[in-house]
Amino acid sequence: MLNRSLRQIVGPVVGASVVAYFAYHTVQGDRGLGQLTRLQSEVAEAEAVLAQVRGEREAMERRASLLRPDNLDPDMLEERARQLLNHAHPDDLVILLPGRPAPLPGGDTPSAGPVSR
């Protein structure tokens, strides 16, 4: 009698244990639902960064296409030359922003090193 009732209990307990094991690992395991939501958030962040980088690249490509010899934009060429040579047109209004070093008369910017007195 004890042997028969023990057999009736062992089967469902083993089955419930197996179901509980797989249910736990479905939620908490290395490839479970918790990990899935974390990976989905990482993918969303990576896609946002990708969209930003693509936009930056497209903007750079547009600006670079204006400097190509077959399609040279004079305004872009003048802007780039002024930037590289650190020159301004006599009619330009120059606004110095706080926190940025003022250009020296020779066209160089002061060094960011310590100032000795």
Q: Is residue 30 part of a domain?
A: yes
| Number of domains into which the chain is organized | 1
So what's the pLDDT on residue 114? 46
Report d(CA 28, CA 35) in Å as an integer: 8
Q: Is residue 111 part of a domain?
A: no
End-to-end CA gap in the chain: 102
Which structure tokens are listed for 105?
A: 């008369």
Q: How confident is the model at residue 1 (pLDDT cuts 50, 70, 90)?
A: low
Question: What three-state secondary structure class fits 2?
Answer: helix
Q: Is residue 9 part of a domain?
A: no
Residue 60: how many CA atoms within 13 Å on its side-chain side?
Answer: 6
What range defines the domain where residue 67 resides? 16-85
State percent of the chain over pLDDT 70.
85
Q: Is residue 106 part of a domain?
A: no
- Give Cα 70 to chain centroid, integer Å: 34
Residue bearing tokens 């077959």: 70
Mind listing the pLDDT tens digit for each residue in 41-66?
999 999 999 999 999 999 999 888 87
Mind listing the pLDDT tens digit for each residue in 86-104?
888 788 887 878 887 766 6
Q: Is residue 26 part of a domain?
A: yes
